[in-house]
């Protein structure tokens, strides 16, 4: 079925320049090239990669990305892309709202050029506006408009856009839109043939100010998704994981996976195994691929 995963996948959201080395001539190590990322990750036993376009404003298809696409298939690495952070589908400034829709529309082409099947996007913030606006409706409308606009902008790519799933993400700060319920509502309204939740459990942990931990953090989320969006969606989720420090307002900063902040990964892996889920799990800790590898090693041991 559309957006299904054939196996549980683990990968990072970027690679570290000083670690990303490949064998060159005479087996000497040399710096890796961007299109070699799938091979590099596959050599580490990883099978997913999230390309961060968070701060990118421009992107165009080049021979490098042609090779990147080919390598993602050859080395069986599932690619996703994180849409730019400056997209704001709740902006009260009409120009910013319109620009955000255009930028989100363009991200669909970026995804095709990377062979990315999932686009992760931050829904928006509450802002300081005193004017009463239906923010969730603005997000739903914005996504629908972006999907239509993407086809107008890139008529030659529009068939390929049907294979791409937009994943609004659960967010870690109380001032951001992105509870599990809100993300479910957005996906329900736009339709699960176009959108699926991106569940960031680190964010949900900080949104709850660390009060909900262990199985209780994870299981109710999976149950709500299954009840409202269906079994197929809960079985093939996009998941972000890392340990995150919080304040009274929620998320403060990401830490490495050996830190004492939460959430712990073991209860999540236990549920994934028991339920037979096949998520794509992206490690968002600062130790990108090394922590992703530790997660994959642990998953292999537990599954």
For Zn ion, the binding residues (CB under 5 A) are 169
Nearest-approach distance from CB 100 to Zn ion, in angstroms: 15
Between CA 226 and CA 224 the distance in angstroms is 5
Q: How far is the CB of 76 from Zn ion (least distance, A)?
A: 24
Q: Widest CA span of the chain, in angstroms?
A: 66
Of the two residues 169 and 287, which places its CB atom closer to Zn ion in the complex? Answer: 169
Distance of closest approach, residue 31 Cβ to Zn ion, in angstroms: 28
At 80, which helix (H) or strand (E)? strand 78-82
Torsion of CA 165, 82, 20, 6, to 10 degrees: -20
33-48 CB burial, b ≥16 within 10 A, e <16: eebbbbbbbbebebbb
Q: Where are the alpha helices (DSSP H) in 125-168?
A: 135-153, 158-161
Asked if 138 contacts 97 with a C-beta cutoff of 8 angstroms, the reply is yes
- Give the nearest distance from C-beta 303 to Zn ion in angstroms: 26
Least Å distance, CB 198 to Zn ion, is 7
Q: What angle do CA 194, 196, 202 make, to 5 degrees?
A: 150
Nearest-10 Cα torsion for 98, 103, 109, 115: -140
Q: How many Cα neighbours within 13 Å face the side chain of 150?
A: 27
- Cβ distance to Zn ion smaller for residue 69 or 255: 255
User: Which residue's CB comes closest to Zn ion?
Assistant: 169
Task: Indicate the residue among 75 and 198 with the shorter CB distance to Zn ion.
Answer: 198
Residues in contact with 40: Cβ distance below 8 Å, sequence separation at least 6, in sequence order: 15, 20, 22, 32, 289
For residue 42, the minimal CB distance to Zn ion (Å) is: 24
- CB-nearer residue toward Zn ion: 169 or 235: 169
Give the nearest distance from C-beta 21 to Zn ion in angstroms.
28
Chain CA centroid to CA 281, Å: 9
Of 232 and 256, nearer to Zn ion (C-beta) is: 256
Cβ-based nearer residue to Zn ion, 36 or 289: 289
Q: Which of 174, 179, 81 lies closest to 121 in space, CA to CA?
A: 81
Question: CB of residue 297 vs Zn ion: minimum separation in angstroms?
Answer: 25
């Amino acid at each position: 079925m559309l957006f299904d995963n054939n196996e549980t996948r683990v990968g990072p959201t970027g690679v570290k320049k000083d670690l990303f080395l490949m064998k060159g001539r005479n087996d000497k190590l040399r710096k890796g090239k961007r299109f070699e990322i799938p091979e590099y990750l596959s050599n580490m036993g990883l099978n997913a990669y999230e390309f961060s376009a968070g701060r990118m404003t421009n992107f165009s298809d080049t021979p490098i990305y042609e090779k990147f696409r080919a390598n993602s298939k050859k080395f069986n690495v599932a690619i996703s892309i994180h849409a730019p952070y400056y997209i704001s589908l709740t902006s009260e400034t009409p120009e910013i709202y319109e620009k955000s829709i255009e930028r989100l529309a363009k991200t669909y082409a970026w995804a095709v050029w990377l062979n990315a099947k999932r686009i992760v996007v931050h829904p928006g913030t509450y802002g300081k506006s005193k004017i009463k606006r239906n923010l969730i409706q603005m997000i739903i409308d914005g996504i629908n408009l972006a999907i239509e606009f993407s086809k107008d902008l890139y008529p030659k790519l529009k068939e390929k856009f049907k294979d791409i799933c937009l994943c609004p993400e659960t967010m870690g700060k109380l001032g951001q839109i992105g509870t599990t319920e809100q993300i479910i509502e957005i996906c329900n309204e736009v339709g699960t043939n176009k959108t699926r939740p991106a569940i960031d459990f680190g964010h949900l942990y900080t949104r709850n100010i660390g009060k909900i931990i262990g199985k209780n953090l994870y299981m109710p989320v999976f149950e709500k998704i299954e009840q409202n969006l269906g079994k197929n969606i809960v079985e093939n989720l996009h998941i972000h994981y890392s340990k995150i420090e919080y304040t009274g307002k929620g998320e403060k900063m990401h830490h490495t996976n050996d830190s004492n902040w939460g959430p712990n990964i073991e209860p999540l892996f236990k549920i994934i195994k028991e339920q037979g889920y096949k998520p794509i799990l992206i490690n968002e800790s600062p130790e990108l691929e090394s922590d992703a590898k530790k997660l994959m090693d642990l998953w292999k041991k537990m599954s």
